[in-house]
Structure 1
Amino acid sequence: MLIPLDEHQLLVFWTQLLVLVSVARLFGGLMRRINLPSVIGQLAAGIIVGPSIFGRVWPAGFEWFLPEEEISSGALLAVSWLGVALLLVTAGFETDLGLIRSLGRAAALVTGFSLVVPLIGGLLVGVALPDSFLGDEADRTVFALFVAAALAVSALAVIAKILSELGLMRRDFGQITVAAGMANDVIGWVMLAIFASFAASGAVSVRVVLETVLGLAAFLALAMTVGQRLVDRALRWVRRDGANIAGAMTVVVVTMLVYGVATQALGIEAVLGAFVAGVVLHRSRFGQPEVLHHIESLTTSLLAPIFFATAGMRVDLGLLDSEALRWVGIVLAVAIGAKFAGAFVGARLAGQSPRAAVALGAGLNARGALEIVIASVGLSLGVFSETAYTVIVIVPVVTSVFAAVSLRMVVRGWRGSADEQERLDREKALSQNLVVKSSRILLPSRGGPASISAAQLVQFAWPKEAPATLVSVVDGGERPDISVLEAVLNERVVDHRSVSGSSAAAEITAESRLGYGVIAVGVATRHEGQLYSPMVDEILLNATIPVVIVRRARDLERPLPAAFSRVVVPVTGTRSSSAAQEVAFSIADQLGTEVVLTHVLNRKTFVPRVLKRRTSDLDPSEVVAKELMDIATLRAVEAGVWPRTLIPSSANVPMALVGVAKDEDCDLVVLGAQLRSVDGRPFLGHTVETVLEQCDANVAVVALPRRS
């Protein structure tokens, strides 16, 4: 039976939320202004409105604000635990298991040493701490394990925040720091699950270890297999008609609750289930990036501040007598020194430079939500006394400040190696692209030579980390042979789908709404009354993402065209022209292809004299053309390509481009187009359609979707 809060209890509850959110957000914002994690300010806010300050300055007011009634405390703690559950979902979203695996030896050594060394130090401290730090009837061994876990792990969220604010996330050492932080989080939650089981049973036993480990292993196995498939199906279903933020949010919340219920039923904290739910949701390719933004907004603006402020309210600095303060210093020294030493040794063994090893030791000292959760669980299970809880919560506050300040000092003036800087510049350029990105590629195919040419262009132009989905178009029940396409795309992750030929365009368009970045389709002969084929025309009309049309070179007898040696790229100054340049520059960067940037001066077009520079005697159209070519050339050089430029004149721009392609003996022309609909058919522009019709070389058209 539900027992409602009375009017006074509701007033107190809403007042608690108002005060905690306001003060936590205020102090969190102040911390960010001085480049420190907001969690520090939120914890400080809780300490201020808790017994440490508010309770001593105005005891009567504090007693009204935080009464000892169980139902009032339960309501506030329920909100705070919901906050930490959503916080852990976002942490799971940021956990990239593939990154941990890819960094291999370096990540493993740094992770191992940065955990083992402080874990040993924490065990020694836990054994040495006085009995007053233990909860009522707490087992000393379980207590020492909780202390060790709290001192050993790092906080991924705080690490990521510090690295992001300093612009170090994609640095080599930054990637290792993130990978080690992820592994710290995963191992930390597993340790918490096992140690909490010890606390619940009252002692350390082999039976409890086996039950917890086997139960956790079974849960993880089911969560990552059956659970992953169910989450994928749910996210795919809610996205069947396009973006659906509300539906995806429902899937996220339900997944979090299901996983939380499962882990709590196993005797493991529900927050571990929330973390695993975040990992599973992040692994789904049908997710919508906007969902994470909405969850983060809700969590960071309301629920997480309540959790951290509530955690701070449970700190009572008045419990720290001279002996306790001495132990605070010892605990902090062990926490910082052991974590730094472990990370430094692991980094040096992995072949990192001394400076990178120091940066890793500094960065991995950041602690936050996980340590506070460990302290909160320890307090709720009776493992920690109020004094021990206060000491443990002080650790993430001090160590996060240490990590932010020391890391900023270490990296000052350090840009890394030339190779690292080149990689960072390429990644920055890729993130700013319109079309050539790391998102999934959709490649429909009937198995013919045209789709093979499209696959080859995709393989050379898109980064290898961009996965692809091959969609086999089945006509008459006979599946096409796509083995050649699979061989062309052998360096990237490829999955497969099949669609019926009669409904291919509709199914492909629907599939493209499920998180893809581009559709690449090969075309051959033109059909009467259509641009190329009924399927391609319908895809172009209904696509909401860019479509790359690849028309295979004429009179080509081999299945695969030769690797592109020279590419002509018309330059017009439009977004679609920039997208075409991205494709051409990416191919050139990978293959060493010569790029010929071309702008045809249309002598039929009148350019107003107002555009003419006063200091130049050139025709205004030539001035504009030169400026466009300078911009395109600069983009090419930034992409690592040194192009040639041509500015011919003609009254027939399309045929002039066809002539340039022939005179330059190019084997690829890449054009940009803005999709339009004319009389119910897609229209790419007179120039593009003429080049597609008349040019003998391979032609690729990067068509941006119609504007709504």
Structure 2
Amino acid sequence: MNVSTLSLEALLASQPATNSVIKPLGHHELLLLLLQLAVLLLVSRGLGELMRRIDLPPVVGELLAGVLLGPSLLGWTLPALQTAIFPKSQVQSDLLAVVSWLGVLFLLIVTGLETDLNLILRKGKTALLISLGGIIVPFTTGFALGELLPESFLAQPNERLIFSLFIATAMSISAVPVIAKVLMDLNLIRRDIGQITLAAGMTDDTIGWILLSVVAGLASSGHFDISTVFKSVIGAVLFLTIAFTIGRTVVDQILRWVDNHIGGATASLSIVLILALSAAALTHALGIEAALGAFVFGILAGQSRRFSREAGHTLEMVTAGFLAPIFFAAAGLKVNLLQLLEPQTFVIGLVVLAVACVGKFIGAYLGAKVGGLSHWESLAMGSGMNARGAMEIIVATIGLSLGVLNQQMYSIIVMVAIVTSLMAPPLLRWTLSKVEIGEAEADRLQQEEQDSRSFIKNINRILIPTSGGPNVQMAAQLISNLAHQNAVEITALFASSNKKPPRQAAATTTTVKDLAADTALKAVVEAMQLPETSTLQTKVETGRNKADVILQEARKGYDLIVLGASESKRSSESLFNLLADRIVQEAPCATLVVQSHLPLQQGETCTLAPQAIRHILVPTIGSEYSNKAVEVASTLAAQMDALLTLVHVINLPQVEYIYNHQTLDPVKDIALQIVEHQATIARSLGAKVQIRLLKGSTPEREILKFARAEQVDLIVLGSNIRMVTGRVFLGHGVNAILSQANCPVAVLSS
């Protein structure tokens, strides 16, 4: 135990209970902390941007910032200024360490969110072999080094075994935060090699921290502590097992509950941080590294469909813009290169650096080759795993506090951590430039890029307000088919107004409302045939106004609201009906309104038979709204095995006005490019596509004529909202098709 800690505890124990009031943080300490954060952030972000300009990852500049602000440069040239900003005070150092640890944990949460667990599992054998190689070889070479170093580098020459074990452990550690930051900076984290590196790094670190706990137990007790070993190993295994079995379901249910009852990105971000910090505290209490808990929880949260992507983006911005630079710069503050200029220390430092690099490179390379990776991929693994970063600095700090390391050896290990972290980015860039992307990986990356921009692929939650009727049942059938292509959570909502009835009729009214809700929800549920990957829940909510109830629910993080248009003749004051119009107008997300055009035979809540849809039509003008409509229609067509026709209408009067008797060929070429581009989108979603160019003076008339002639079963329209005197207006063409089509029409508005 640290001597200063013992002195502090003795001092506190000697104080009477009446004087044990905890004082607030001093004015000077707070002032220094704020100044330190400002200086570290300024220099680290400035150097990070400079590194970016010269085509190096910003993490290189962030690590160098601490070295420049530490005793190596600022302390050498302006010692008074360096001491004034970064005094050698335990309290001040601890305050900065807290912020640095937050940087570690936040960075690993973000890394977890970006980690593809399925890909890691597919590459699990390779990652495990790389990790074992990256542990066994450097541990062996590190132990041999510890046995051969001069006694002047040992804090306690009579305990060389413990010293050798500690050096071996330090050589085995990899810095997952540094590796993750480098992979993010190089835009490699989604590559197969990036995911394998992360998986191997986390396995490597887990084993390394277990080894560290064993060595720390030896150093503190002077004998082999089997209970410490057992606690660390069993704790790590149990934590990982529970996390990826029960924990996955628990995390998803918690995020679901928060989303249902609170909603919004702020609530999602708060609960993720609460749970991640709790997981970090748990792993720390189990005797393994707190960073493991944060990383694992990040993976679990990233797999949940209820985790807000907006919250994830906010977390990433805060981490990359504030906490991570502080963490890397604070790590560099501990390096004093001047101590390494003494000849013997310099030579031993080079030897330790060489042993650390060679041991890690050879171990990771051999593990990767055994795991089936190519020569350059194996070199890339060695380059990434060689980064030690602040994790090794933490190890060195622990060794110094335990009396295993003296100041010379501490400086050498910290130097190794910084140098290997600076080596990793250029080596990774060089080795990975030699690695060709395989066809399967290229297809996966291209698909992921398309999915990130896709409207339909980013729909995770759908809200269907219902009062029964063919329109909403038709909408439910369509959404049911979307769910087969894209796993979603669907909520069917019955909204009622609570206009208070007379007291004597209250019981009867409540019974009627319950019956109406049951009937309406049952109609939607029966219209859906959902796969196991999608879920359906029903809700009944009451408020003073139905629209208010629906909009309040919609603000809880839904991606799409699906509505049925009016079953009866709509008024001249509305597009669909007054309720649907207001929802479309004020919705916080995209809306899909379905007009079935089917006869109403048995009342408002008649059961609608499954509709056979063999031909879907999408009129397109090449706009973003048309693209979204194409995505929806393509997903439906792929699931229903229907033919999708993309139609573009060339408006003849407009053409004649612009071109005056010139040929229509240029206009046809542009129109063909529009529909061909959207046909490519449709085919990527699995749809059978045909394209048609129509000509006419009235586009909606040509569309309706084509739909009747070709026996189209569904028309999907994309449009944006245009406000006209407070009313919803989607354009004359949409209005005409809605009112005159003889088949169901779905209007997507966003």
**Shorter-normalised TM range:** 0.7 to 0.9
Structure 2 counterpart of 1:120, from 110, 133, 136: 136
Q: CA deviation at 1:299?
A: 4.3
Question: Equivalences for 1:227-242 in 2 at 5 Å?
Answer: 228=251, 232=255, 235-236=258-259, 240=263, 242=264
Farther-moved stretch of structure 1 (441-450 vs 44-53): 441-450
Partners of 2:201 and 2:669 in 1: how far apart? 50
Residues 225 and 60 (structure 1), Cα distance of their counterparts in 2 relative to 1, 3 Å cut: same
SS of corresponding position for 2:749: strand
**Equivalent residue letter for 1:617:** Q
Matched, 1:82 2:106: no
Post-superposition Cα deviations, 1:210-257, rounded to whole Å, max 9, x if no partner, equal: 3445666777759947984796378537953x454xx66655665566
SS of corresponding position for 1:36: coil
Structure 1 counterpart of 2:389, from 337, 358, 368: 368
**Equivalent residue letter for 1:702:** L
Structure 2 counterpart of 1:450, from 464, 468, 474: 474
SS of corresponding position for 1:315: coil
**Equivalent residue letter for 2:334:** R
Partners of 2:261 and 2:493 in 1: how far apart? 24
Question: Equivalences for 1:246-261 in 2 at 5 Å?
Answer: 251=271, 254-255=274-275, 258=278
Q: Where does residue 498 of structure 1 map in the other structure?
A: 538
Partners of 1:437 and 1:395 in 2: how far apart? 45
Partners of 2:322 and 2:95 in 1: how far apart? 14
Residues 585 and 210 (structure 1), Cα distance of their counterparts in 2 relative to 1, 3 Å cut: same
Matched, 1:387 2:408: yes
Q: CA deviation at 1:206?
A: 2.0
Question: Equivalences for 1:15-30 in 2 at 5 Å?
Answer: 16-30=36-50
**Matched-pair contact (CA < 8 Å) for 2:625–2:718:** yes
Q: CA deviation at 1:659?
A: 1.9
Farther-moved stretch of structure 1 (450-459 vs 275-284): 275-284
Which ranges in structure 1 are unaligned for 5 or more consecutive residues?
Answer: none
Q: CA deviation at 1:116?
A: 1.6
Q: Where does residue 709 of structure 2 map in the other structure?
A: 663
Residues 505 and 368 (structure 1), Cα distance of their counterparts in 2 relative to 1, 3 Å cut: farther
Q: Where does residue 748 of structure 2 map in the other structure?
A: 702
Q: Where does residue 427 of structure 1 map in the other structure?
A: 448
Post-superposition Cα deviations, 1:162-213, rounded to whole Å, max 9, x if no partner, equal: 4444444443334433444455566666666666666665654221233445
CA RMSD of aligned residues (A): 4.5
**Equivalent residue letter for 1:410:** T
Residues 9 and 142 (structure 1), Cα distance of their counterparts in 2 relative to 1, 3 Å cut: same
Residues 362 and 259 (structure 1), Cα distance of their counterparts in 2 relative to 1, 3 Å cut: closer
**Equivalent residue letter for 1:497:** Q
Farther-moved stretch of structure 1 (391-400 vs 447-456): 447-456
Q: Where does residue 648 of structure 2 map in the other structure?
A: 599
Q: CA deviation at 1:672?
A: 0.3
Post-superposition Cα deviations, 1:108-139, rounded to whole Å, max 9, x if no partner, equal: 22321222222223332443313555556997
Post-superposition Cα deviations, 1:405-439, rounded to whole Å, max 9, x if no partner, equal: 23333343755234433333333233233x22234
Matched, 1:480 2:522: yes
**Equivalent residue letter for 1:498:** T
Farther-moved stretch of structure 1 (436-445 vs 82-91): 436-445
Residues 426 and 361 (structure 1), Cα distance of their counterparts in 2 relative to 1, 3 Å cut: same
Q: CA deviation at 1:551?
A: 5.2
Question: Equivalences for 1:58-137 in 2 at 5 Å?
Answer: 62-64=82-84, 66-68=86-88, 72-96=89-113, 99-106=116-123, 108-128=124-144, 129=146, 130=149, 133=153
Q: Where does residue 518 of structure 1 map in the other structure?
A: 560
**Matched-pair contact (CA < 8 Å) for 1:260–1:272:** yes
Post-superposition Cα deviations, 1:300-338, rounded to whole Å, max 9, x if no partner, equal: 444444433333232233443555445544444444444
Q: CA deviation at 1:572?
A: 2.2
SS of corresponding position for 1:437: helix
Question: Equivalences for 1:618-637 in 2 at 5 Å?
Answer: 618=663, 626-637=669-680
SS of corresponding position for 1:572: coil
**Matched-pair contact (CA < 8 Å) for 1:231–1:281:** no
Matched, 1:545 2:585: no
Farther-moved stretch of structure 1 (402-411 vs 570-579): 402-411
Q: Where does residue 9 of structure 2 map in the other structure?
A: none
**Equivalent residue letter for 1:569:** V
Q: Where does residue 674 of structure 1 map in the other structure?
A: 720
Q: Tell which structure's C-alpha radius of gyration is larger.
A: 2
Partners of 1:572 and 1:95 in 2: how far apart? 41
Q: CA deviation at 1:26?
A: 3.6
Which ranges in structure 2 are unaligned for 5 or more consecutive residues?
Answer: 1-20, 495-513, 601-606
**Equivalent residue letter for 1:23:** V
Partners of 1:570 and 1:411 in 2: how far apart? 45
Post-superposition Cα deviations, 1:615-648, rounded to whole Å, max 9, x if no partner, equal: x8136xx855652442331343366469544332
Q: Where does residue 575 of structure 1 map in the other structure?
A: 624
**Equivalent residue letter for 1:432:** R
Q: CA deviation at 1:701?
A: 2.5
Q: CA deviation at 1:76?
A: 3.6
Residues 690 and 543 (structure 1), Cα distance of their counterparts in 2 relative to 1, 3 Å cut: same
Q: Where does residue 10 of structure 2 map in the other structure?
A: none
Q: CA deviation at 1:512?
A: 3.9
**Equivalent residue letter for 2:617:** V
Matched, 1:617 2:662: yes
| Count of residue pairs the alignment pairs up | 684
Matched, 1:314 2:358: no
SS of corresponding position for 1:672: strand
Partners of 1:98 and 1:309 in 2: how far apart? 25
Partners of 1:506 and 1:181 in 2: how far apart? 50
Q: CA deviation at 1:158?
A: 3.6
Residues 482 and 586 (structure 1), Cα distance of their counterparts in 2 relative to 1, 3 Å cut: closer
Question: Equivalences for 1:459-474 in 2 at 5 Å?
Answer: 459=483, 464=486, 466-471=487-492, 473=494
Residues 273 and 95 (structure 1), Cα distance of their counterparts in 2 relative to 1, 3 Å cut: closer
Residues 342 and 645 (structure 1), Cα distance of their counterparts in 2 relative to 1, 3 Å cut: same
Q: Where does residue 46 of structure 1 map in the other structure?
A: 66
**Matched-pair contact (CA < 8 Å) for 1:193–1:212:** yes
Partners of 1:185 and 1:527 in 2: how far apart? 67
**Matched-pair contact (CA < 8 Å) for 2:462–2:488:** no
Residues 662 and 411 (structure 1), Cα distance of their counterparts in 2 relative to 1, 3 Å cut: farther
Post-superposition Cα deviations, 1:493-529, rounded to whole Å, max 9, x if no partner, equal: 3234221176686565444434443344567945644
Residues 135 and 17 (structure 1), Cα distance of their counterparts in 2 relative to 1, 3 Å cut: farther
Post-superposition Cα deviations, 1:465-488, rounded to whole Å, max 9, x if no partner, equal: x54334365844466387777754
Partners of 1:218 and 1:674 in 2: how far apart? 52
Q: CA deviation at 1:95?
A: 0.9
TM-score (norm: length of structure 1)? 0.79
**Equivalent residue letter for 1:119:** I
Q: CA deviation at 1:657?
A: 1.2
Residues 379 and 234 (structure 1), Cα distance of their counterparts in 2 relative to 1, 3 Å cut: farther
Question: Equivalences for 1:180-219 in 2 at 5 Å?
Answer: 180-184=200-204, 203-212=223-232
Q: CA deviation at 1:600?
A: 2.6
Partners of 2:645 and 2:37 in 1: how far apart? 63
**Matched-pair contact (CA < 8 Å) for 1:39–1:368:** no
SS of corresponding position for 2:457: coil
**Matched-pair contact (CA < 8 Å) for 1:142–1:204:** no
Post-superposition Cα deviations, 1:340-363, rounded to whole Å, max 9, x if no partner, equal: 444444444554444444444444
**Matched-pair contact (CA < 8 Å) for 2:616–2:715:** yes
Partners of 2:526 and 2:261 in 1: how far apart? 34
Farther-moved stretch of structure 1 (674-683 vs 199-208): 674-683
Residues 353 and 594 (structure 1), Cα distance of their counterparts in 2 relative to 1, 3 Å cut: farther
Q: CA deviation at 1:577?
A: 1.4
